[in-house]
Amino acid sequence: MFQPTVKFSPANIAAFKKALRKQHQMLRSGHVDEALAAAFGFKSYAAMLHILSQLGGSTRVVIQIDPSLLMLRLEEFGYRGLSLEAIRRLTWDLPFPEAWQGDETEGALRARFRPVAANSK
């Protein structure tokens, strides 16, 4: 199954956390942090924060969200009865604040490596 791809940034992580807690109000903040780290493929929230702190302003890292890993981690914390389909739908439908494509940097890079047409001058 395809997984949604997002820009790995603090703003996107915060938006995902907020939406997840809005959808499932009984989730504790720290548990959601750990579950989000698992969804991004990290063993812990601390490990994810370490990588996030290494990223600079111009660095763009895209990452896939695995709703199944998020669900498994939440189940380890004792949350039962959550809908994997609802979480999967949330990951696809959420409008993340920082897009992973189509920004100024990407446009500049594409233009730089675009071949010049033979009849352009």
pLDDT tens-digit readout, 60-88: 788 899 999 999 999 999 999 999 999 99
Q: What is the pLDDT of residues 7-16, one digit of tens each?
A: 899 999 999 9
- Two tokens, residue 60: 């763009």
Q: Please report whether residue 118 resides in a domain.
A: no
Where is 39: in which H helix or E strand? helix 29-39
Q: Please report whether residue 33 resides in a domain.
A: yes
Q: Please report whether residue 107 resides in a domain.
A: yes
Q: Please report whether residue 120 resides in a domain.
A: no
Give the residue numbers spanning the domain of 81: 5-113
Q: Please report whether residue 119 resides in a domain.
A: no
| Alpha helix stretches (DSSP H) within 67-113 | 67-76, 84-93, 104-113
Per the CB < 8 A criterion, the answer to whether 66 and 58 are in contact is no
pTM for the model? 0.78
Q: Please report whether residue 20 resides in a domain.
A: yes
Q: Please report whether residue 18 resides in a domain.
A: yes
- DSSP letter at 97? S
Q: How many domains does the chain have?
A: 1
Q: Please report whether residue 88 resides in a domain.
A: yes
